[in-house]
Amino acid sequence: MKYVPTLGFLLVLLMLPLTLASQSAAELNSRLNKSSTSKSEKLDICFKLGAIYATRSPQTSADYYHRASLLASELGEKSREAEAIYLSAEGLMRKRDYSAAAARFNQAWNTSRNYGLRETALSSMDRLEEMASKQNDLKEALKWSREKVAYLRENSGRSTSSGDAMQKLESQISVLQSEKKLLLDKLAEISGQSENLGNTYKETEAQLQEIREKASAEISAKEEVITQITRDKQRIDSISQNRNRLVSKLTKEQLADSMIKAQQDRLIQEQKRQVAEAELGKQQSEALRNILALVSCFVLLLAFLFYIRFRAKKRTANQLEKKNAIIEEEQKKIDGLLLNILPPAIAQELKTHNKVAAQRYEQATVMFIDFTGFTNVAEKLSPEDLVQELDFCFSNFDRIISQYNIEKIKTVGDAYICASGLSDKNSSPSDIVRAALEIQDFLQHVRATRMNQALPFFEARIGIHTGPVVAGVVGKKKFAYDIWGDTVNIAARMEESCEPGRVNVSENAYWLAKYEFDWLSRGKIAAKNKGMMDMYYVQGIKSI
């Protein structure tokens, strides 16, 4: 007889993949909403959920990819940001929401072209041209076809004291670790005392066993006495029986006298037996009370000793926990100090290997900021006011560049040097150009405030160049993270050739950020030791 699958069984087999996918999506969504999940993990989860809902619910898929693009933007991962925007637009296109899809494809095109993501840029233009054709908007389709040709032509044509502080913190950690060792030795001593208590327990147990044996011997002796009394009773009973036999032969008077005497004898024997039994019960009760008293004392002694041991262990554990907390806090201070001096990856390598190998970056963007007329302003201010003014400006520079994942390199007098592209999260010069514009806006605002107060103010020149650099840490006592290469020199030449209040950009940086800003070409200008070089002023951010 052949087995024929029922309709219900076939439906279960067909629904099983959908059920498993739903369970997987629910688990991923639960992890996504947990506050303990890091942003990097949430980014990966959004990509997985977008893929799961790609065929079942295009709108849900588009929403998850849009959330992934926002997370990638916060993390500075530009390639994944462009990819997530493109996939979100794909979901909206499958939903036939062409207007929203076109807006996101346009956003994906702008993001990918600024960061050199050729494939994503071309795919976005293909989709924009395809949707324009479907909507019979031939003018828009022709525009994107021409834009694609132009893009392909353009891309084919272009081919301290911090070290002393850390030593002090390390010495403090060493002292705390020594104290931790002393506490561990104390704990070992308490463990030895616990072993002595165990030996005392064994001795007490032996004494208790001896008491039990003595009590058992006394009980045996009392049982022999009872046995003897029982035998005497049996003998008395036997005599009484003999007397009873004699009674029948006596006269009535003799019988009466004999009965009275026998009754008296029985009473006497009964009293003796009761006295003997009472004495035996009293002795047994006293022995039992003694045994119970000894056992109670022993139990109370053990409980007291275990309580003392518990309190000692708890007190030692609390002390160890406090010392560990202090060590962890000091370690966090050291880590924070290192992160203020070095990039996170460099600080981790230094902690792991006690040295940092120099590393080459093929596309780093270096920015030089230098105050003009610094000597004249310095003459008008006291040394304290001058240092306070420099600290105010440089602290705001730090705040602005940190928003764009830009790494501060160093300050030399009134010069401020920073760079991007020292990791795979920020390789485009667009962010550093935006930071430069914000710095000039900040200085303009300070200039207006100082002029109203009739106080001196700073103006700055900013130069930017993109190219290869070598970065690393020099020194052993006072760590210094620095960059070297011709790119650094050219960035300095861009700053020297700049006007106050302007941002001067080299040709290399211009081509990488061309589509995002409005530019003023300055043509070829002589640069010290570099000859004639093309330079561009940044006019502002291009409105889309």
Mean pLDDT (the chain, rounded):
81
Q: What is the pLDDT of residues 432-462, one digit of tens each?
A: 999 999 999 999 999 999 999 888 889 999 9
Q: Tokens at residue 149, please? A: 């040709």
Parse the chain into domains and list their residue ranges: 7-157, 164-339, 355-541
List, in sequence order, every residue forming a beta bridge with 469; answer none if it has no partner: 361
Q: Which helix (H) or strand (E) holds 278?
A: helix 252-341
pLDDT at 232 over 80: no
Across 326-349, average pLDDT: 65
Confidence of residue 171 (pLDDT cuts 50, 70, 90): low
- The two beta strands, 415-420 and 503-506, are unpaired
Q: What is the pLDDT of residues 108-119, one digit of tens each?
A: 998 888 888 888
Across 331-360, average pLDDT: 66
Q: What architecture is domain 7-157?
A: Alpha Horseshoe (1.25)
Residue 216 has what pLDDT? 76
d(CA 196, CA 210): 21
Question: What share of the chain in percent tops pLDDT 70?
Answer: 77
pLDDT at 539 over 70: yes
d(CA 190, CA 218): 42
Residue 356: φ, ψ to 5°: -130, 125
pLDDT at 12 over 50: no
Residue 160 has what pLDDT? 40
Residue 459 has what pLDDT? 93
At 221, the amino acid letter reads: A
**Residue 486 three-state SS:** helix
**Residue 391 three-state SS:** helix
Across 170-199, average pLDDT: 65
Q: Angle formed by the axes of helices 98-114 and 78-94, to 10°?
A: 160
- The lowest-confidence range among 123-132, 196-205, 408-417, 457-466 is 196-205
Residue 364 has what pLDDT? 94
Residue 396 has what pLDDT? 96
- The lowest-confidence range among 9-18, 427-436, 443-452 is 9-18
Residue 523 has what pLDDT? 94
Q: Using an 8 Å Cβ cutoff, are 192 and 318 in contact?
A: no
Confidence of residue 23 (pLDDT cuts 50, 70, 90): low
Q: Using an 8 Å Cβ cutoff, are 519 and 510 in contact?
A: yes
CA distances from 136 to 93, 100, 130, 175, 359 (A): 16, 17, 10, 79, 53
Residue 161 has what pLDDT? 42
Is 355-541 in CATH node 3.30.70.1230? yes
